[in-house]
Structures are given as C-alpha cells and as structure tokens.
Amino acid sequence: MKIERKRSGVVSKVIILLIFVAVLAVVGLIVYIKLYENTFFAERKFEELSRKYYEDSLYENFIVEHDGEELAEAFSGYKNGFTIKLRQILNHEFLQNNVNYRSYFETDSYSCDTNKSTAIFKAHEPYGKKDYDVEFNLVCDKN
C-alpha cells in the first residue's frame, strides 16, 4: 500500500497568492517606468507648483499692488491672463528649501525647457484666490 501525500489547501492558496503578488509588482514596476519616461510626473508636478505659485505668491502680490481698486477693474488689464514660466517657479523663494523639484523636469529620459514651459492663469469672477482657469504647456525633449 502506497501512501500519497497531498498538499494542503492552505499551502496551495498561499503559493497562488505569492505568485499573484509577484506578477502585480512586476506590472506595477513596468507601468511606473513607462510613466517616468513619458513626463507624467513632471506634468503633475508642474501643475501643482504652478497653482501654488499663482495662489500663494502672484495673486497675493497682485491684490496688494491693486489695493483699493475694484477687482474686476484690476483684472481687466489682464484679459490674456498671467503667463508664468517654469523657470520663474523653480527660482521662486518658496522652493528654495526644496531644490529637488528640478529633478522632476530633468531626468535621464527627458529634459524640460524652463523658458518655453508656461502656465497661463486667467482670473474670473468673483476673483478669489482659486477663481481662475489655467492652461498648462510643458515643453520637454527626450534625451
């Protein structure tokens, strides 16, 4: 009489789970590498930094300079909006402690032109800090 040894159901399920997790990790790594090579992270960071620059610096300074004016009248001189270059954002004082931001725009795969990359902010009523439309134009070349 021969005794056959069968794997328990729990061990089989653990092995299948480990294989699934390994495959998922490899797929995640491939997706991350492709996004990194295709400026995905640079675009998101440019949008984040541009909004921060506009809301925390440009808008605040604009309001101080036009103190006492009606906001609609003050913003009427900027029908084409405020154009901000990536260079201005990266050189601004609120980023001086975080010089690592440049690494988002210059990698082994691409480099972004800091003079041609722009964000255009167009304020609209009621002219609050977050009352604007924005158009992003990030110009990057593959290395």
pTM over 0.75: no
pLDDT band at 21 (very low <50, low <70, confident <90, very high): very high
60, two tokens: 């605040």
Residue type, 103: S
Residue 111 DSSP class: E
What are the CA-CA distances from residue 107 to residues 15, 68, 116, 123, 141 (Å)? 38, 46, 17, 33, 11
What are the CA-CA distances from residue 1 to residues 4, 8, 11 (Å)? 10, 21, 26
Asked whether residue 57 carries a pLDDT value surpassing 70, the answer given is yes
Q: Strand runs (DSSP E) across 59-108, as ranges? A: 82-85
For residue 121, give every residue at least 6 positions away whose Cβ sits within 8 Å of its Cβ, in sequence order, or none.
Answer: 50, 54, 58, 81, 82, 84, 132, 133, 134
For residue 111, give every residue at least 6 positions away whose Cβ sits within 8 Å of its Cβ, in sequence order, or none.
Answer: 105, 140, 141, 143
pLDDT band at 35 (very low <50, low <70, confident <90, very high): low
Q: How much is the pLDDT for 96?
A: 65
